[in-house]
Amino acid sequence: MCTHTKHTHTHSQATDRVILEEVLQMVLEIINSCLSHNLHNNPHLIYSLLYQREIFEPYRTHPSLIDLVQNIETVFVNKSCMLTMYIHE
């Protein structure tokens, strides 16, 4: 593979990674907004996210995603506590 082709391929991968990070950030912002502002209208979203909360694990330390993931996890903790209290009543 020639040097130009390697450089173009590396640049393309870097561009793809940036785009994917931006899309992931946008999705997390949407989820965060739904949980923050319309919590009572999204019980299925809450349940699904609680059920599969491990999907957020890889993003806990990502510099541009850490705040969003922490916000979402805060809602998880609160809702998990509420559900546990409800179940045990």
Give domain limits for the chain: 25-88
pTM score, two decimals? 0.71
H or E element that contains 54: none
Spell out the per-residue pLDDT of the chain, length 89, in tens.
555 566 666 778 888 889 999 999 999 999 988 887 877 777 788 788 888 888 989 988 999 899 999 998 888 787 766 656 555 55
Query: Residue 25's pLDDT is what?
Result: 95
Q: What share of the chain is helix, strand, coil (3-state, %, to 5)?
A: 85, 0, 15
Query: Residue 2's pLDDT is what?
Result: 56
